[in-house]
Amino acid sequence: MTSYTLRKGSSAKVRTDVVVIAVTSTAQGPVLAPGGEAVASAYGRALTPLLASLGFTGTRDEVAQVPTAKTLRAPLLLLVGIGSADVLGDATRTTDAVRRAAGVAARTVSNSASVALALPARDPAEVRAGAEGFELGRYAFTAYKSGPAKDEPGEVVLLSEIARSKAGAAALETALVVSSAVRTARDWVNTPAADLAPPAFADAVRAQAKASSGKLRVEVLDEEQLRERGFGGIIGVGRGSAQPPRLVTLSYRPRRATRHLVLVGKGITFDSGGLAIKTQLGMRTMKCDMGGAAAVLAATVAIAELGLPVRVTTFAPMAENMISGDATRPGDVLTMYGGTTVEVLNPDAEGRLVLADALVAAGEVGPDLLVDVATLTGAAETALGDRVSAIFGHDDAAVARVRAAGARVGEALWQLPISEEMPVKVRTYSKIADLMQHNVDVYGGALYAAAFLAEFVPDGVPWAHLDIAGTGFNRRGAYGHVPSGGTGVSVATLVELATELAEAQDS
Ligand code: BES
Ligand code: MN
Ligand code: ZN
């Protein structure tokens, strides 16, 4: 267990194994960022030549470890570059830089029992970013590794001027709850699909809810109940698998709440493509296809742990998209929950089918704001890459609200349109059913999918759809506070959104 404490004190005098400071790059050379003042004065004039001889410029993600030879009380100084000093001119950019630098530091320190972060920590957002970045950066998925566990620091001290304020302490608490939820989401995504089929995933949610605040209610519909109640999308996708589907509902209903946030997450525990089977390369990382469900469920756990006064109901439709003699075929028609019929054209466009059922169920509980999160289309990744999630919606205020929440916690969202031709295609392509599941045209797949989902959102409900196909799973190396594998993207955005809804209700 790593413990975090917030303390006022000098970065030159703190008793610890390693002190971390941030360095910006300027035209005049590297300059220590706020938080490193005491280190700068301890080194005095020796600092500039020291950085020069290391070739350290302060470029983003650059790191250097310097033995301090008693210049500081700590034996080791860890420098992390955060790029142009311009970032310090903008609060959001500084916060992002701190989160990222703390993540880099966490991945760099080795064999240190204690770490002191002397990063910018002048306000609650910076304090939170330091703790969150470090806790997320040091994440490692080790459940399947034999051999001794990796050393982890026993104590992380965050040095901050606001250490003794209520707001500072609250920021640290939020950081720890949110990063714990992000880590849970990552664990679920990283768990091999064979070990996290729908029944096991539903059990894991139950266990998580029980272990956390005791303020959550879990309801699980099994295959028989889903069939009885007409969840044709979830049943249709799950029928090719030996593992039965589930619909998990996680709810949090604090007494003081007046607003109701409703979340829906895609929970395809493995996506083989079904009868539209993917290539082996295409399905290599498809255990990640429940990343949306992982995010909304973990966020709900965090919201309850923080005790935010906002009601949350979260739906996670879970199914495994496989092939068998009984898998859904192209040309089959499914009757979704609520009665809408859909002609299946491509069994690999399965996410929207399970989401359609869940969105209808979500509409029934009276959302003030409805947000779904899904690793839905490769087209979203083609459009925006692997670090920017796509966001869609007809309600500009709802979309802006979610985007702004994401920006405050360092998660980039870019709006793509549900252009007017898309709903027309969704409604007219099928000759035999109400709706056509999949775009007959090659391009615009993310837009078509969003337009399809929109058909299942009741009129007048503010709704935003997040496509995290590009961002949910990092197939490449770690960067900043983001490791390889499951990223836990959207958890922080959703918790921030709930925080903002709770505040809006108080005023
Ligand atoms: N799960 C995939 C989308 C995906 C792609 C997630 C890459 C993560 C990384 C989804 O179910 C899918 O197969 N989408 C198809 C849609 C198509 C058949 C309309 C795709 O993107 O090719
Ligand atoms: Mn698919
Ligand atoms: Zn999928």
Q: What is the mean pLDDT of the chain?
A: 97
Spatial separation of the C-alpha atoms in residues 111 and 472, rounded to whole Å: 30
What pLDDT score was predicted for residue 111? Answer: 84
Sheet holding 333-335, edge to edge: 333-335, 341-343, 435-436
CB-based contact 452:435 (threshold 8 Å): yes
> Is 145 an annotated catalytic residue?
no
Which of these, 174, 182, 202, lies nearest to 141 by C-alpha position? 182
Instruction: Determine which residue's CA is closest to atom 3 belonging to ligand 1.
Output: 377
What are all long-range contacts of 63-72, with beta carbons under 8 Å and residues at least 24 apart? 63/104, 63/105, 63/108, 65/18, 65/108, 68/19, 71/12, 71/42, 71/43, 71/46, 72/11, 72/12, 72/13, 72/19, 72/39, 72/42
Among 143-152, 343-352, 446-455, name the one with the lowest average pLDDT. 143-152
289-339 confidence digits (pLDDT tens):
999 999 999 999 999 999 999 999 999 999 999 999 999 999 999 999 999
Q: For residue 500, report the distance from its CA to the centre of ligand 2, in Å.
A: 34
* Residue 420, Cβ density class (10 Å: 0-12 exposed, 13-18 middle, ≥19 buried): exposed
What pLDDT score was predicted for residue 110? Answer: 87
CB-based contact 456:356 (threshold 8 Å): yes
Mean pLDDT of 339-354: 98
20-58 confidence digits (pLDDT tens):
999 999 999 999 999 999 999 999 999 989 999 999 999
Which of these, 447, 465, 486, lies nearest to 264 by C-alpha position? 465
Q: Is the pLDDT of residue 151 over 60?
A: yes
Q: For residue 272, report the distance from its CA to the centre of ligand 3, in Å.
A: 8
Q: Which of 289, 321, 422 to probe ligand 1 with, by most ligand atoms within 8 A of CB?
A: 289
Instruction: Determine which residue's CA is closest to atom 16 belonging to ligand 1.
Output: 349
Q: Is the pLDDT of residue 505 over 90?
A: no
Which residues, including other chains, have CB under 8 Å from residue 232's CB and lie 6 or more apart? 334, 335, 336, 337, 357
Which of these, 468, 498, 488, lies nearest to 103 by C-alpha position? 488
Instruction: Determine which residue's CA is closest to atom 8 belonging to ligand 1.
Output: 469
Half-sphere exposure of 104 (CA within 13 A, CB side): 25
What pLDDT score was predicted for residue 1? Answer: 83
* Residue 493, Cβ density class (10 Å: 0-12 exposed, 13-18 middle, ≥19 buried): buried
Which residues, including other chains, have CB under 8 Å from residue 452's CB and lie 6 or more apart? 352, 356, 426, 435, 437
Q: What percent of the chain has pLDDT over 70?
A: 99
SS3 137: helix
pLDDT band at 212 (very low <50, low <70, confident <90, very high): confident
Spatial separation of the C-alpha atoms in residues 481 and 410, rounded to whole Å: 11
Mean pLDDT of 186-196: 98
Mean pLDDT of 374-385: 98
Q: Where are the beta strands (DSSP E) in 180-277?
A: 216-221, 246-252, 260-265, 267-271
Q: Which residues pair with 454 in a beta bridge?
A: none
Catalytic residue among 100, 186, 352, 408: 352
SS3 257: coil
> Is 284 an annotated catalytic residue?
no
Spatial separation of the C-alpha atoms in residues 336 and 242, rounded to whole Å: 22
Q: Is the pLDDT of residue 170 over 70?
A: yes
The Cα diameter of the chain in Å comes to 79
Instruction: Determine which residue's CA is closest to atom 13 belonging to ligand 1.
Output: 348
Q: Is the pLDDT of residue 507 over 70?
A: no
Distances in Å between the alpha carbon of 452 and those of 349, 350, 439, 443? 11, 12, 10, 15
Q: Provide the residue type at 237 as one letter.
A: V
Q: Provide the residue type at 489 as one letter.
A: V
What pLDDT score was predicted for residue 506? Answer: 62
Q: Which two tokens stand for residue 219?
A: 């309801």
pLDDT band at 223 (very low <50, low <70, confident <90, very high): very high
pLDDT band at 148 (very low <50, low <70, confident <90, very high): confident
Q: Provide the residue type at 454 as one letter.
A: A
Instruction: Tell me the pTM.
Output: 0.98
Q: Which of 376, 439, 440 to probe ligand 1 with, by most ligand atoms within 8 A of CB?
A: 376
Q: For residue 344, report the distance from its CA to the centre of ligand 3, in Å.
A: 14
Mean pLDDT of 433-441: 96
Catalytic residue among 73, 253, 278, 427: 278
Q: Is the pLDDT of residue 95 over 80?
A: yes
Q: Which of 377, 381, 422 to probe ligand 1 with, by most ligand atoms within 8 A of CB?
A: 377
Mean pLDDT of 99-110: 97
Spatial separation of the C-alpha atoms in residues 328 and 345, rounded to whole Å: 10
Cβ atoms within 10 A of the Cβ of 284, count? 11
Mean pLDDT of 474-501: 98
Distances in Å between the alpha carbon of 478 and those of 138, 140, 266, 407, 422? 11, 11, 25, 21, 37
What pLDDT score was predicted for residue 241? Answer: 98
Spatial separation of the C-alpha atoms in residues 137 and 107, rounded to whole Å: 6
